[in-house]
């Protein structure tokens, strides 16, 4: 695969990886993942030793909000891409001793066939992850741990104590507009922890 760039977002542990698409008169071809390239690329050292062992696919209708989810036994990092549609990816820092604790960022990831590149976003353990979908969207994500419903939790994306100061204002506005228009969201996600209530949970000490 041809990796074009690797860059950090406002929370530097969150990475965006761009890969090339090779076009001709028929369309395009791309390698979206090759383990040896991910292990050997000099800018992807943060993925060395990470074993991606589960792959999930999700389809969401317009107005859907998911998350903010995380897991601790085992820990789960996620490598996510948009296959079709448009995903606004949401990432919240839940590492209690980190300078960015409580900050949430958003990244716009449309899945357009006319785009010259494909993109992955890497969300390591220590972060709660969610999405907002303004249109019909299908996403795919690799996980570094198997899902365990006994050790997963979520912080509500509507929690009043989230720090949105590092978030792109336009994406925050898009999220707020979606949230204000009867979003498609589970009650479990809507009624997730606030940051303050999560800090009272014994498992919060697992994310330092």
Please give the positions annotated as active site. Answer: 69, 141
d(CA 147, CA 149): 6
What stretch of H or E contains 188?
helix 187-190
d(CA 110, CA 90): 14
Q: Kindly report the three-state secondary structure assignment for every residue of 62-112.
A: CCEEEEEEEEECCECCEEEEEEEEEEEEEEEECCCCCCCCCEEEEEEEEEC
Q: From the centroid of its chain, how far is CA 140?
A: 11
């Amino acid at each position: 695969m041809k990796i074009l760039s690797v860059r950090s977002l406002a929370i530097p542990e969150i990475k965006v990886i761009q890969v090339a698409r090779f076009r001709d008169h028929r369309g395009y071809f791309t390698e979206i993942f090759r383990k040896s390239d991910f292990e050997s690329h000099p800018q992807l050292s943060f993925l060395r030793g990470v074993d991606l062992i589960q792959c999930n696919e999700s389809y969401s209708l317009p107005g859907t909000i998911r998350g903010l989810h995380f897991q601790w036994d085992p820990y789960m990092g996620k490598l996510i891409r948009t296959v079709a549609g448009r995903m606004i990816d949401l990432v919240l820092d839940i590492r209690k001793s980190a300078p960015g604790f409580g900050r949430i960022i958003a990244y716009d990831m449309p899945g357009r066939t006319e785009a010259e590149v494909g993109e992955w976003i890497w969300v390591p353990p220590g972060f709660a992850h969610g999405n907002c979908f303004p249109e019909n969207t299908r996403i795919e994500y690799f996980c570094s741990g198997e899902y365990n419903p006994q050790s997963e939790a979520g912080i509500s994306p509507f929690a009043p104590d989230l720090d949105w100061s590092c978030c792109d204002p336009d994406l925050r506005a898009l999220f707020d507009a979606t949230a204000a228009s009867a979003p498609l969201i589970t009650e479990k996600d809507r009624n997730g922890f606030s940051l303050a209530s999560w800090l009272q949970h014994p498992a919060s000490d697992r994310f330092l």
